[in-house]
Amino acid sequence: MNFSLYKSQQKPEIINLFQNTFSDSEGSEEGTVIGTLVSDFLSQPLQEDDLFVFIACDDHQRVVGSILFSKLSFPNEENVFLLAPVAVATKWHGQGIGQALIRFGLEALKTKGVSIVMTYGDIRFYSKVGFTAINEERIQAPLTLSYPEGWLAQSLTGKAITPISGKPTCLEAIANPIYW
């Protein structure tokens, strides 16, 4: 398995991966929603270093996994990113590809000076790659969470996560209550 940053020509393949994977696991409506989210992320003009898209490719260079990290902007300019969404092609599930890809992405962000990565999802999965539950008294989410138990964080500095004051803003693509 090869891990790397995505290339722009892989955009359709990545969008299809997310749409198909989420359709398989959550139904076609959710697949369409997440496919649209990824398309929006990859289509909107952004500042450099506001979005990182990593991929896992098989031996034939087909994209079988992808993760997106997008900037969360806090008033104090803390360097925080959001990991969402994450997809591994259904036939590749259970082989550790998602975990390995997330670890690869976290290491890359660490070299860019990112201090904290947040995600919003299943603690049973994300705890395998170092995320822990955090409440919004310590770090607020950019929008109202429908599942507050799924708000998770990981320090990339080796230091304990201290509270960050203020509500962050997220990139426009994910600034929709449907995702939260």
Average pLDDT of every residue of the chain:
96
The pLDDT assigned to 26 comes to 95
Domain that holds residue 117: 2-171
Percent of the chain with pLDDT strictly greater than 90: 96
> Is 176 inside any structural domain?
no
Whether 100 is covered by a domain: the verdict is yes
| Tokens 């705890």 found at | 127
**Distance (Å, rounded) from C-alpha 25 to C-alpha 5?**
25
153 domain residue, yes or no: yes
| Number of domains composing the chain | 1
Could you give the 3-state DSSP secondary structure of residue 60? coil
* Residue 179 domain-assigned (yes or no): no
- CA atoms of 110 and 49, how far apart (whole Å): 13
Residue 96 in domain: yes
| Residue 180 belongs to some domain of the structure | no
The CATH number linked to 107 is 3.40.630.30
pLDDT of residue 48: 83
Beta strand extents in the chain (DSSP E only): 2-5, 51-57, 63-73, 79-88, 116-120, 132-133, 151-155, 169-170
Instruction: In whole angstroms, give the CA distance from residue 55 to residue 39.
Output: 15
Position 108 in a domain: yes
The confidence score (pLDDT) of residue 47 equals 84
Q: Percent of the chain having pLDDT more than 70?
A: 100
pTM score, whole prediction: 0.95
What is the average pLDDT across 81-86?
98
- List CB contacts of 30: < 8 A, sequence separation 6 or more: 22, 23
The answer to whether position 74 is within a domain reads yes
